[in-house]
Structure 1
Amino acid sequence: MNFTVAIVGRPNVGKSTLFNRLVGKKLALVDDTPGVTRDRRPGDAKLIDLRFTIIDTAGLEQSGPDTLQGRMWAQTEAAIEEADLSLFLVDAKAGLTPADQTLAEMLRRRGKPVVLVANKSEARGSDAGFYDAFTLGLGEPCPISAEHGQGMIDLRDAIVAALGEERAFPPEVDEAETNIDLAPTSDDVGDDEVEPVYDETKPLRVAVIGRPNAGKSTLINRFLGEDRLLTGPEAGITRDSISVEWEWRGRSIKMFDTAGMRRKARVQEKLEKLSVADSLRSIRFAETVVIVFDATIPFEKQDLQLVDLVIREGRAAVLAFNKWDMIDDPQAVLADLREKTERLLPQARGIRAVPISGQTGYGLDKLMQSIVDTDKVWNRRISTARLNRWLETQQVQHPPPAVSGRRLKLKYMTQIKARPPGFMISCTRPDAVPESYLRYLTNGLRNDFDLPGVPIRIHLRAADNPFENRAKKR
């Protein structure tokens, strides 16, 4: 991207609505409740012919630095320092407030380019608020409607005028030398006898989920080595799913911080429902999901439901027992947690579990190694020849049961997909194969081909009969 723009203003002036308009997606949560946005969220923006990075920020609420509002404003200040230009939004419909005057004074002291934007200018009676914005001393306001998309051309011209043509439109890089010959991915079905090698350099998408106040944001901040995400003793601070990018041992990692998910019966407010829906979307777009447990109160019912949700979605899962620095007898607690993991999570047998401390950084390198190892298993492919030899051995050791007096026959097996591993078995009467025998085959695959902790899908298909459509001879 060419440059970075921060959207600033007091609460409920339409910053997140404008952010969604510029990125072309509903990434940020939008609600009539003031103060929905808390963390700073970056995105790739497009405005007519401009391409830049946009940052959505929390609204200015004057409070002490130790309060939640004070920590939110510290995140906004960090975004202003990072940006090349600030879009200062005011509400033309409601008019100016003392908070607008305070923020205007602070932006003037920064000495960076500022574009004054009068949002909600389409509303009846907004003219008075628009003309009041001149008193802020930041030049002529740009009237727009972020919700309806009005005034975007004027906003583009104002940004170009504030930055200058050279900064807004840098010379283009010749892409002739950057063309890459795309090779088939590991998901493409190729030669069944060739098991593709895992690419250790490909970017990895990781979602971090858990109950409220489990320490998810603190964990990601420790990975990054900075206070990138808003944290504190209050439960439910994170609302939006925020993505951050960093490198681990030369590998690009994109990690999603998500809102804490409570039991469904307790989620009543509209805003919390939006936050949970955003977290579920992050799970679906991730490759590996880290479920953060509070080691002081692990294996709550909600913890188990979250693991089951990740497995049903087909994601690779890793457990992180956080707050390990608060455990008095680590060896005894670790043995107890391992026993409970095997007993309470049979659907994810062999799942990797790592004790960590987001506060002190204990165990984070081991956690990342477990994430990479689980992703390898999630991407694994097994040749058809090995699978059919294995299937024959399994049937010898434990033959399929007889249903209605007729023995079931499993004839052929192949892997039809990875991410997660999925297998197809050609057999007689697939509807009659009992679930117990499928569990037997699933556990055998997990043990014999080293597939711990990832979902395994087995699909049954009736064997093709070349004579079924021929007319019977008399």
Structure 2
Amino acid sequence: MTPLTVAIIGRPNVGKSTLFNRLAGRRLAIVHDRPGVTRDRRFADGRLGDMPLRIVDTAGLEEAPADALETRMRLQTERALAEADVALMLIDARVGVTPMDAHFAQVLRESPTPVILVANKCEGGAGEAGLYESFGLGLGDPVPLSAEHGEGLAMLYEALLPHEAALKERRAAEGLDVDAAARVGDGDALPEDLEARAAAGADDDVEEEPEDPGKPLNLAIVGRPNTGKSTLVNRLLGEDRLLTGPEAGVTRDAITVDWEHAGRRIRLVDTAGMRRKGRVTESLEKLSVADTLNAIRLAEVVVLMMDADMVMDRQDLTIARMVVEEGRALVLAVNKWDAAADRSATLQRLRDRLQTSLAQVRGIPYVTISGLTGRNLDRLMDTVLETHAIWNRRISTGRLNRWLLAATEEHPPPMGKHGRRIRLRYMTQAKARPPTFAAFCSRPEDLPDSYVRYLVNGMRDAFGFEGVPVRLYLRKSENPYARH
């Protein structure tokens, strides 16, 4: 069934994000006591009983000068209101109706979008006075609710039922299919029996890991504050979907936007800027950083945005190492290239830092771009798709072991502690995403790290694993005579 699009609006700190998380069934939006935490529109699929919902969390409604950040936040909220099937206007029943509530209620009465008034924080009878006071806003009977404790959701369901029925009628009149396609999850577990996997492996040369064709590519945009992450996403989308501005740290939580590029579905995730750990002291910024780290863990490809005049500084390297350690595919985007002071020096510094500080992932791709003008964005996306394909690559067991035999003959493993040469018997690819291999040898504890690096670099050259993390685990081969 086509979900009902519900925009949650109201002044700052009335519990919009708490209700958003409640309806979504999980913590997606950052919740904090400080007013104005939410700045961008955030979408999520949710459910209230048997009613599917498309929920939109919005910034708090505030009056501000035309060039202020709060005004740009309000424009995002007004756009969400225009696109919604129904709006929930929240007030804080414990505080009562404020002049700002009354002002924006007047604005909503003139909007063509139907509005349901919700008196939040009504638990324990503390908001009873504010609940009765809200009748005077002229938005109909208020729904008493406690988003934090989940009270009053049945009444909210009843209030939404007429709007769901109206949506069905509109869809039927337009002749649209109201059945939504089910989503398929990602099963990417490491096989328990690696030897059985090796025996069952096909003898094809190279293949890409099969994917659900309807599943979008998860692409996270990360970086230090004010490197142009939201500007890049807006330019890719072709609209001012995300809040931008000269202020550092405009984005506070990870915002997901569905998009399509060259026929490929992509889920773009814009994240909050990550400062050096020692400078992050406020609890709100810690929540923003945690949201960004979670976005990296859930991503398949991560684009690290860097300022052309401060390329690959200490924090950039820290973020890049986080991405590599999580096993994500990494693409570097050198932004603001149109305003770079010394382009040749910037590229030389980038290459030197990659060679000295990220040598464990050889060949990380980088693209010089301008999010503001759109320079090289097609090339950036082509690089993202190419890197994602390498990250999904699988090598057949037959070809892998032919390569292993040649590699060990060219450079045999060293002697072990007891004077016996270590023998590498065979190798198999346990999984892709990232490419993960298991090598079975006689004494894995004696094989030095330098030889493991030799094997990993050899696989990069032989099978084209440049620029993505490659994991190699050593397993001890079972002695068939040990039990007799």
Shift of 1:181: 12
Partner of 2:7: 6
Partner of 2:111: 110
Partner Cα separation in structure 2 for residue 164 and residue 460 of structure 1: 57
Partner of 1:196: 207
Partner of 1:141: 142
Give CA deviations for 1:112-140 in whole Å, capped at 9, x if unaligned.
21100000111443221111101111111
Judged with a 3 Å threshold, the aligned counterparts in structure 2 of structure 1 residues 399 and 256 are, in CA distance, closer, same or farther, namely same
Match 1:437 to one of 451, 462, 465: 451
Match 2:366 to one of 307, 330, 353: 353
1:322–1:355 contact (8 Å) kept in structure 2: yes
Partner Cα separation in structure 2 for residue 180 and residue 57 of structure 1: 26
Partner of 1:97: 98
Partner Cα separation in structure 2 for residue 141 and residue 24 of structure 1: 23
1:271 is paired with a residue of what secondary structure? helix
Shift of 1:334: 2.9
Query: Given the alignment of the two structures, is residue 458 of structure 1 paired with residue 472 of structure 2, yes or no?
Result: yes
2:395 is paired with a residue of what secondary structure? coil
Unaligned runs of 5+ in 2: 192-196
Query: Given the alignment of the two structures, is residue 379 of structure 1 paired with residue 392 of structure 2, yes or no?
Result: yes
Which of 165-174 and 119-128 deviates more? 165-174
Which of 190-199 and 164-173 deviates more? 164-173
Partner of 1:249: 262
Partner of 2:121: 120
Shift of 1:185: 8.8
Partner Cα separation in structure 2 for residue 406 and residue 181 of structure 1: 50
Partner Cα separation in structure 1 for residue 236 and residue 36 of structure 2: 27
1:193–1:384 contact (8 Å) kept in structure 2: yes
Partner Cα separation in structure 2 for residue 165 and residue 373 of structure 1: 45
1:209–1:290 contact (8 Å) kept in structure 2: yes
Partner Cα separation in structure 2 for residue 411 and residue 25 of structure 1: 47
Partner of 1:315: 328
TM-score, structure 1 as length reference: 0.93
Match 1:302 to one of 315, 326, 343: 315
Match 2:402 to one of 386, 389, 396: 389
- Percent identity between matched residues is 52
Q: Segments of 4+ in structure 1 off by > 6 A? A: 169-172, 177-188
2:190–2:430 contact (8 Å) kept in structure 1: no
1:196 is paired with a residue of what secondary structure? strand
Partner Cα separation in structure 2 for residue 84 and residue 467 of structure 1: 71
Judged with a 3 Å threshold, the aligned counterparts in structure 2 of structure 1 residues 184 and 31 are, in CA distance, closer, same or farther, namely closer
Matches within 5 A, 1:27-426: 27-161=28-162, 163=163, 165-167=165-167, 191-194=201-204, 195-197=206-208, 203-404=216-417, 405-426=419-440
Give the partner amino acid of 2:201: D
2:18–2:147 contact (8 Å) kept in structure 1: yes
Give CA deviations for 1:347-400 in whole Å, capped at 9, x if unaligned.
221010000111111011011011111111111111112111211221122111
Which of 122-131 and 147-156 deviates more? 122-131
Judged with a 3 Å threshold, the aligned counterparts in structure 2 of structure 1 residues 198 and 425 are, in CA distance, closer, same or farther, namely closer
Judged with a 3 Å threshold, the aligned counterparts in structure 2 of structure 1 residues 123 and 64 are, in CA distance, closer, same or farther, namely farther
Which of 178-187 and 362-371 deviates more? 178-187
TM-score, structure 2 as length reference: 0.91
Judged with a 3 Å threshold, the aligned counterparts in structure 2 of structure 1 residues 105 and 324 are, in CA distance, closer, same or farther, namely same
Partner Cα separation in structure 2 for residue 196 and residue 443 of structure 1: 20
1:292 is paired with a residue of what secondary structure? strand
Equivalent residues, number: 468
2:123 is paired with a residue of what secondary structure? coil
Unaligned runs of 5+ in 1: none
Give the partner amino acid of 2:97: L
Shift of 1:338: 2.9
Give the partner amino acid of 1:456: V
1:50–1:168 contact (8 Å) kept in structure 2: no
1:413–1:424 contact (8 Å) kept in structure 2: yes
Partner Cα separation in structure 1 for residue 168 and residue 51 of structure 2: 7
Judged with a 3 Å threshold, the aligned counterparts in structure 2 of structure 1 residues 180 and 258 are, in CA distance, closer, same or farther, namely closer
Shift of 1:111: 2.7
Partner of 1:448: 462
Shift of 1:182: 12
1:37–1:58 contact (8 Å) kept in structure 2: yes
